[in-house]
Structure 1
Amino acid sequence: MSRQYSTISGEASAEIEVKRSRFRCDLTRVATEEAAREAIARARAEFWDARHHCSAFVLGPAGDPDSMERSSDDGEPAGTAGAPMLEVLRGAELRDVVAVVTRWFGGTLLGAGGLVRAYSDSVRAAVEVAPIQRRELVTEVEVTLGEDGYVRAGRLEADLRARGIAVLDVAYAERVTFLLGTPGEPGELAAQIAGLTAGTANTRVRRTTWVDR
């Protein structure tokens, strides 16, 4: 399974016109099939006057046994809408995203080739303006500072971020606790923490998780 992949950090939309037919693509970041289908339903409800709401979505990192790809032609000739849309998402290497292309018919038949190009081009147009976000699989490491933690915390956080280490959370209680994410070996991060804190911090390895970077 890949340890990195790209998604989008927000929504993106684009619209093209082909022989008076309008094609509007809406890209939405989603984490589950249910969320993807909710996005499709929202487009169908918002643009109720359109003839077709074709869709494609990709969930999960490549190689993950739970990853999923789905597409729908929504009444267009088979293979002319959903599958080409899915190919654009694959080509852009985007995951955890749903594309919905809403079509308003302009009165001129486009033919199978014309439909494939139109649906593909509308998704490409949305991808071009979408805010791309990288995700990375990291191991969570909990770091609890010593008695002087409140004095060290600010400088330590700055040093960690400067080294490209993901600071997932900071808790200020009796002791200051950092939750960090490392794509490398947890032992290497523990050694860095020991150096930055003069050996006064305790580290504990937790689970692996995906984070935005």
Structure 2
Amino acid sequence: MPFTLQAPVHSELLIKKSRFIGCIQPVEDRAQAQAVVAALKAAHPGAAHVCWALLAGGQSAAVDDGEPSGTAGRPMLDVLRHQDLQGVLATVVRYFGGVKLGAGGLVGAYSDCIAQAVKQAVKVPIVAKTVLRFEVPYSLEGWVRRQLALFDAVALQVHHAQGVIFDIQLLLHQEAAFRAAVTASSAGVVVWHAKAP
């Protein structure tokens, strides 16, 4: 089961006078990740590198920011993958201490910095949700609203036309039971539409 993070978590390592400031945090997409990285670069103008890794489905990335290829972004991404995280950005700001660490040392430093943050993080399961659109007669609007509460569903939009059109979001595993309850209680007059956008 994939997880995301409840909140950002920070870590810091000092290795041969180089300072590594790490952070893992939940993000929605690559654009949000790039905004976080840009803010870090602005906040740390004296840093030698701001390396990052994003695990977010098709928007994933691993950026070495001037470190030797494969020594920063990829090891950080591997830590996120190993922890089954999704929608998570890992960043490490490095202040160079004057002593070169070599490729192996860099891989270890970047992955350890992120691994320490992961150890402190509160991981939250990502639960699959779905969006449904359906129409019922006005006489069933109140009943449907009560069912939404019972199923922990959320009404995204409600349109009043010839009938009442609901766009709702609920847990994917409850879709079949919700559909069955609404169909049975409406005596089959419910109209299920294509899923709402």
Residue aligning to 2:154: 167
CA RMSD between the two structures: 3.2
Identity score, percent:
30
Residue aligning to 2:194: 206
Structure 2 counterpart of 1:12, one-letter code: V
TM-fit CA distance, 1:171: 3.5
Contact persistence 2:148–2:155 (CA under 8 A):
no
Extract unaligned runs of 5+ from structure 2.
none
> Aligned partners of 1:146, 1:132: CA distance in 2, in Å?
42
Larger strand proportion of the pair: 1
Distance 1:115 1:139, change over 3 A: same
TM-score in terms of structure 2 length: 0.77
SS of 1:206's equivalent in the other structure is: coil
- Within the alignment, does 1:122 sit opposite 2:110 as a pair? no
Structure 1 counterpart of 2:55, one-letter code: V
Distance 1:181 1:158, change over 3 A: closer
Superposed, 1:125-136 pairs within 5 Å as 125-136=116-127
Q: How many residues align?
A: 195
Superposed, 1:1-213 pairs within 5 Å as 5-60=2-57, 67-149=58-140, 151-152=142-143, 155-161=146-152, 166-167=153-154, 169=156, 171=158, 175=164, 177=166, 179-184=168-173, 187-195=176-184, 197=185, 199=187, 202-207=190-195
> Aligned partners of 2:196, 2:156: CA distance in 1, in Å?
15
TM-fit CA distance, 1:87: 0.7
Q: Deviations over 1:89-120 (max 9, x none)?
A: 11111222221100122343333322211111
SS of 2:151's equivalent in the other structure is: helix
Extract unaligned runs of 5+ from structure 1.
61-66
TM-score in terms of structure 1 length: 0.72
Range moving further from structure 2, 104-113 or 35-44: 104-113
TM-fit CA distance, 1:205: 4.3
> Aligned partners of 2:24, 2:189: CA distance in 1, in Å?
44
Structure 2 counterpart of 1:77, one-letter code: P
Distance 1:205 1:180, change over 3 A: farther
Structure 2 counterpart of 1:190, one-letter code: R
> Aligned partners of 1:132, 1:144: CA distance in 2, in Å?
38
SS of 2:68's equivalent in the other structure is: coil
> Aligned partners of 2:196, 2:165: CA distance in 1, in Å?
22
Q: Deviations over 1:135-193 (max 9, x none)?
A: 344442234454444643564233212xxxx4353648584836133525855431133
Contact persistence 1:99–1:123 (CA under 8 A):
yes
> Aligned partners of 1:126, 1:20: CA distance in 2, in Å?
20
TM-fit CA distance, 1:7: 2.6
Range moving further from structure 2, 97-106 or 132-141: 132-141
Structure 2 counterpart of 1:115, one-letter code: L
